[in-house]
């Protein structure tokens, strides 16, 4: 006689997945706050500029590329940079939380957002490289016009 055993029951558990830190709301909000405070005149920027600088501090590679561009006085060719949906979603949250406010086409940091920045500033290790990079650019380092010129190449 043949003995056959049947699998009577199978179950699968859906595990939580690992996602890149870029997809964490507060992480991205942190980037937005840093960009606005450190590299934007009167803590205010257009969406395009926010996208550009958030893309720049997204990875070591982007960072080096932008640094090179700055070093060459904006002359070197900039091949491509990314506009990321995460930045848009983070901005929605940031506005809803009252860190950032949206007025006449630009995003600016609110008092609440500045409070968050101050907390972030206290932790010297937090976003160390991002901070150094953005501080180096400074509030007047990259103007809106520069961003317009850059993006007009793609549009």
Partner 1 sequence: MLHLNALRLEINTTNGLYGTTITFESGLNIIRANNTSGKSTVFQSILYALGFEELIGLKNDKTMQSVLKDVVIDGESNFQVIQSSISLEIFNGQEIITVKRSVVNEKRKPQLIDVTFGPQLTKSDDTYELRQMYVHDKGAASDEIYGFHAFLEEFLNWKLPDVIDTNGNSTKLYMPLIAPAFIIEQKSGWSSFFATIPWYGVKNSEERVIEFLLNLDVFQNEQSRISLNINKRLLQEKWTILFDDFQNLAEKGNAEVAGLEAFPVIINNINEIYFRIFRNDRYFLVPDLIEELTDEFDQLNQQTEITVGENLEKNRIRLNMLNDNLLKIDFRYQQLSDELLHEKEKFRQYIQQRKSVQEDLDKNKSAEKMLKLGGDVHAQVANNLCPTCGQGINDSLLPEGVDQVPMQISDNINFLSSQYKMLEAFISSQRSKIKEKDNILAEYNNRLGEIRQEIRNIKRDLVSDDRLPSEELIERKINTKRLVNFYVEFLERIESLRKRLFLLSEEWEKLKQREADLSGDFFSVLDREKIKLLQDSFLQLLKAFNYQSKDKNAIKISTDKYLPVIEVRLPNEKPKSYDIRFDSSGSDHIRCMWAYYVALLETSMKLGGNHPKLLIFDEPQQQSASTTDFKAFLKELSINEGAQSIVFASFQNSIKDFEEATEGLKFNKIESNGRFVQKVEI
Q: Which residues bind partner 1 (CB under 8 A)?
A: 14, 16-30, 59-60, 85-86, 89-90, 93, 96-99, 112, 115-116, 119-120, 123, 126-127
Least distance in angstroms from the C-beta of 3 to partner 1? 40
Strand order in the sheet with 44-46: 44-46, 106-109, 100-103
C-alpha 95/C-alpha 79 separation (Å) is 31
Cβ nearer to partner 1, comparing 89 with 146: 89
Beta-carbon neighbour count of residue 41 at 10 Å? 13
Least distance in angstroms from the C-beta of 153 to partner 1? 28
List own/partner pairs for 69-78 with CB under 8 A and 24 or more apart.
70/137, 70/141, 70/142, 74/146, 78/150, 78/153
Cβ nearer to partner 1, comparing 60 with 140: 60
Cβ nearer to partner 1, comparing 77 with 123: 123
* Collapsed DSSP state (helix, strand, coil) of residue 100: strand
Cβ nearer to partner 1, comparing 3 with 17: 17
Least distance in angstroms from the C-beta of 51 to partner 1? 14
Least distance in angstroms from the C-beta of 11 to partner 1? 18
C-alpha 34/C-alpha 120 separation (Å) is 9
């Amino acid at each position: 006689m043949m003995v056959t055993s049947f699998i009577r029951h199978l179950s699968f558990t859906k595990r939580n997945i690992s996602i890149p830190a870029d997809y964490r709301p507060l992480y991205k909000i942190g980037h937005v706050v840093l960009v606005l405070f450190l590299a934007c005149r009167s803590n205010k920027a257009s969406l395009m500029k926010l996208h550009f600088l958030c893309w720049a501090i997204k990875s070591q590679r982007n960072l080096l590329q932008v640094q090179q561009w700055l070093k060459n006085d904006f002359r070197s060719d900039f091949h491509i940079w990314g506009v990321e949906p995460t930045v848009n979603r983070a901005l929605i949250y940031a506005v809803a939380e009252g860190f950032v406010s949206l007025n006449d086409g630009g995003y600016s940091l609110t008092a609440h957002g500045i409070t968050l920045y101050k907390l972030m500033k206290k932790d010297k290790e937090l976003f160390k490289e991002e901070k150094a990079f953005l501080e180096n650019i400074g509030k007047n380092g990259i103007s809106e016009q520069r961003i317009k010129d850059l993006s007009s190449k793609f549009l």
